[in-house]
Amino acid sequence: MPPEITDYCDIVDPDIDPILIAMAVTGERAKLAWGYWVKTLNIARRTMGREKAEQIFRDCCSALYGEMKSEECQKPGAKLNIKLQIAYSLQRSPQRVQPPPLDCVA
């Protein structure tokens, strides 16, 4: 059963299976969607190690969660697939967008 995601800390919780987190974040329950995630995650675990592969997976879910909270997100499952493909090809987590510093005017 996918967990209830109420904040970013729920996504990075190491006690929750990454696939269940992806299901909760995207709302996808179809076997086609989570089957792809399982396959992708297992390949990444073999090539880069379990810990790094799962961290990248969680970071992709976290980035998607941020996008969904800030704007309407169409097809979140497909967006996660793209994020995973890019992140695993680069073997690093997606870069988080940092807001530019504000110039204080006196």
The residue type of 74 is: Q
The span from the CA of 4 to the CA of 50, in Å, is 24
Q: What CA–CA distance (Å, rounded) separates 70 from 16?
A: 24
pTM of the model: 0.80
Q: What is the pLDDT of residue 14?
A: 87
Domain residue spans of the chain: 17-90
Question: Which tokens in the block code for residue 47?
Answer: 């090539």
* The pLDDT of residue 105: 45
Tell me: the pLDDT tens digits for 19-68?
999 999 998 888 888 899 999 999 999 999 999 999 999 999 998 888 88
